[in-house]
Chain A
């Protein structure tokens, strides 16, 4: 028979494993609650990046399920996710709205010219006020907003093809389906 003391290392490891299991649960940034989920999109009044004379308000965005993409010319990962947004806007199933965060309008215009413009509209959040209201902590971040202007999902980091297909698209489809059902129920 083996001595009980020989099981001490195993016991120590078991404790350690439990600690790690708890640790894996703790530090998951993907489950960071966005305070805004389920809340209305903040009100704002900002100019269009490509047409600075035109003022855009929250009301102008309602009526469609949209992706709100927070981007900036100083943000390298915005270049990485850019082709995916071009693809999404080409497919035309959803509006992509840009929030040009803490940026210079002229630089932003040049950037859109250089990389093509996937946005239905981009608002110039030069002071970062909309960003702060949205609770973003950097670019890129992407939100799913439903037709009534409620935030339904938040993604931190670049939207790659996999993120779009595995994460955002299902959310978008679910939101759309829900709206169709609601209209049907009302009608």
Chain B
């Protein structure tokens, strides 16, 4: 950017440039920090079962909701269900709240939450896209990987 060609402005210009450099590098640093704190890695049910996923850290997990596994608590909004990569042992998910409209057994879902000490995935958010043919790509890849490895 040009701040004009007047001589007395030279020094001021230097200050401005210095200011911009300092603030922008601080901004870039902070941004990258925030970015790294807020990325949520995806883990497949198999990876979680084998203990690959960190306990107590927010991650994403996904799989197909195992038909017949959905259970509701009688007195609260607690819901439990299993998700699976259709090969390895299913992962138990606990969620309190209202499920998205397109949540269905047999549907691929991705959930955001934490693995607790008991190995249950406690979800804060369950995502199911508004399209009945939708398969989250993470889930598709997890299924493909599970079948590829064990056969």
Tell me the bound Cα distance from A35 to B147 in angstroms. Answer: 6
Q: State which of A10-18, A130-138, A176-184 sits at the interface with chain B.
A: A130-138
A128 within 8 A of B: yes
Partner of B106, one of A76, A77, A102, A157: A102
Within 8 A of B (CB), among A18-45: 27, 29, 32-36, 39
How many residues on chain B are close to A (CB under 8 Å)?
19
B residues less than 8 Å from A33 (CB atoms): 144, 148
Within 8 A of A (CB), among B3-41: none
Q: Is the CB of A35 within 8 A of B148?
A: yes
Interface size class on chain A is: 10 to 19
Q: Interface centre among A76, A102, A137, A157, by most B CB within 10 Å?
A: A137
Q: Is the CB of A137 within 8 A of B132?
A: no
Tell me the number of A-to-B contacts counted with CB atoms below 8 Å.
Answer: 42
User: Known contacts A102-B106, A128-B106: does B133 contact A135 (CB below 8 Å)?
Assistant: no
Within 8 A of A (CB), among B121-151: 132-133, 135, 137, 139-141, 143-144, 147-148, 151
Q: Is the CB of B108 within 8 A of A138?
A: yes
Q: Is the CB of B140 within 8 A of A32?
A: yes
User: Known contacts A27-B137, A77-B133, A137-B135: does B151 contact A39 (CB below 8 Å)?
Assistant: yes
Shortest distance from the beta carbon of A71 to any chain B beta carbon, whole Å: 13
B residues less than 8 Å from A138 (CB atoms): 106-108, 133, 135
Tell me the bound Cα distance from A162 to B151 in angstroms. Answer: 33
User: Known contacts A128-B106, A138-B108: does B135 contact A35 (CB below 8 Å)?
Assistant: no
